Amino acid sequence: MPSQVQEGQSFSTTVGLLYVFNLIVGTGALALPKAFQTAGYVLGTLLLLVSAFMSYICATFIIETMSVSNAILKRNRENEVNQLYGLESSNDEAEGSAEENYVQQKRSFDITQKVELSEMAYLVLGKIGVIMTYLFLTLYLFGDLAIYSTTVPKSLMNVLCESPNVTIITNDLPCYQNHFDDFSRLSVYRICVALFACFCFPMVIAGMTKTKYIQLATTVSRWTAFTLMIVLASMQLFREGPQASPPAADIKGFGSLFGVSIYAFMCHHSIPGLLTPIRNKKNFNYKLIGVYGVIFIFYCTLSVTGSFAFSVVQDVYTLNFLHDDKTSLVYSLIDYFLALFPVFTLTSSYIIVAITLSNNLKILLTMLQNSNNTESNDLESEALLESSSDREDMIDLRSPVPTSTSSPTNNRSAFFDQISPFIFPFIAIFLPTILSFFNDNVLVLASITGSYPGVGVQFIIPSCLVIAHLNKIFGHI
């Protein structure tokens, strides 16, 4: 069942909108300047505008679906109580004033309970809808982890290796010129990928998650880093002029731009956890327009300045600020802060995403194996489709799956319960790590993640949910 909002967990509308901003502005923004330089600044701006508009519309679909789900759950609970005590509505109650009925029905739509995507799908789409919801999100989280496990090691590799004096940096170049010539940048990158996976795996098993202090530090570093990138790129433009001449539009780069634009506005799987604790939700949809507007301007400024300020934009934009010729100690510190920014911010997020993905894999496998088992309904309503970067409570990986009482099955299930806390986290980390090991192009990973599972999470699921919920509510309430 969805959890009731506790008084201590509530926060103001302003804080809620700030959380939405922090949730949306993430890794996708680091790949946008490269996509803009490839596809063109006019095409990029137009597609980013369309993506922002569609993302906002689908976000309102999630909010509307949450409201309808609350009404359905309250009506179901009221019917269960009436059936339990054998109560029936009297004619006097049924024939109450129109104003009283209107007020009562309106209150039933208040979002007072957190209803995750999985439960909303189960209310109106049934077992198949829940499986499809988990499947879309699981594929999206796999892509998300692949992006993280590529961005962090790539940033570490560029900090550890020297920056060669060439326009295009390739992976065959040695990490240090005239020293360890056989030790290429690609070798260092792959070592960093392996070490990063080994570092995070024990924390995923232990269920380590963010604390408020880590979240606060991540928020401050994110705002500082993106502001510095815009300011430094603008200063370079004014001082040296444009270093590149990106086209206004190049259809060849549309595919990458499309996927990255969708990925850059992803937040829909986390809206239930962010919206429910807000104390005053009045006109939240309209206030959300302001957040999307600020993010759109922010993205355009970051991408346009970057695509003109640098002759070749890296797929991880922060790496463009790691220079050879340091003019001052302050400038050098800023460069290294920006280069290491993805390492600090994405490592903690990576652990949360891996925990969520391992839980989704466990639940999805259980539902596929026991599609007719009614005991799995409790699993389907678990709040596992949580924010991959802003969740503060611990997700337990060791809760047992309901099993039958027969001896052979029980023995197999007991063995499965013992190894599942290790197997599912291993799968969640191993597959994205393999992708990162053989591919270090963040732009490609972000475009694929946004173009395929991202479309499902951002557009298909919210649209199906709002249509099904409205059909149900008009038929029953």
Q: Give pLDDT, residue 233.
A: 92
Q: Give pLDDT, residue 397.
A: 33
The pLDDT mean for the chain works out to 79
**Higher-scoring residue by pLDDT: 65, 110:** 65
* The pLDDT of residue 379 is above 60: no
Confidence of residue 97 (pLDDT cuts 50, 70, 90): low
d(CA 302, CA 307): 9
* Residue showing tokens 């086209």: 247
The arithmetic mean of pLDDT across residues 81-91, rounded, is: 59
- Structural domain spans, the chain: 7-103+110-476
Q: Give pLDDT, residue 462.
A: 92
Asked if CATH classification 3.30.750 holds for the domain at 7-103+110-476, the reply, yes or no, is no
Query: What digits encode the pLDDT tens for the residues 171-182?
Result: 777 887 776 667
Share of the chain above pLDDT 90, in %: 30
d(CA 319, CA 464): 40
Top-confidence range, 56-60, 160-164, 246-250, 439-443:
56-60
Q: Give pLDDT, residue 184.
A: 84
The arithmetic mean of pLDDT across residues 317-338, rounded, is: 80
Share of the chain above pLDDT 70, in %: 76
d(CA 261, CA 282): 29
Query: What digits encode the pLDDT tens for the residues 31-62?
Result: 999 999 999 999 999 999 999 999 999 999 99
Query: What digits encode the pLDDT tens for the residues 283-301?
Result: 888 999 999 999 999 999 9
The arithmetic mean of pLDDT across residues 162-173, rounded, is: 69
The arithmetic mean of pLDDT across residues 308-334, rounded, is: 82
The arithmetic mean of pLDDT across residues 198-214, rounded, is: 76
Whether residue 111 contacts residue 67, with contact meaning beta carbons closer than 8 Å, is answered with: yes
The arithmetic mean of pLDDT across residues 114-143, rounded, is: 85
* The pLDDT of residue 383 is above 90: no
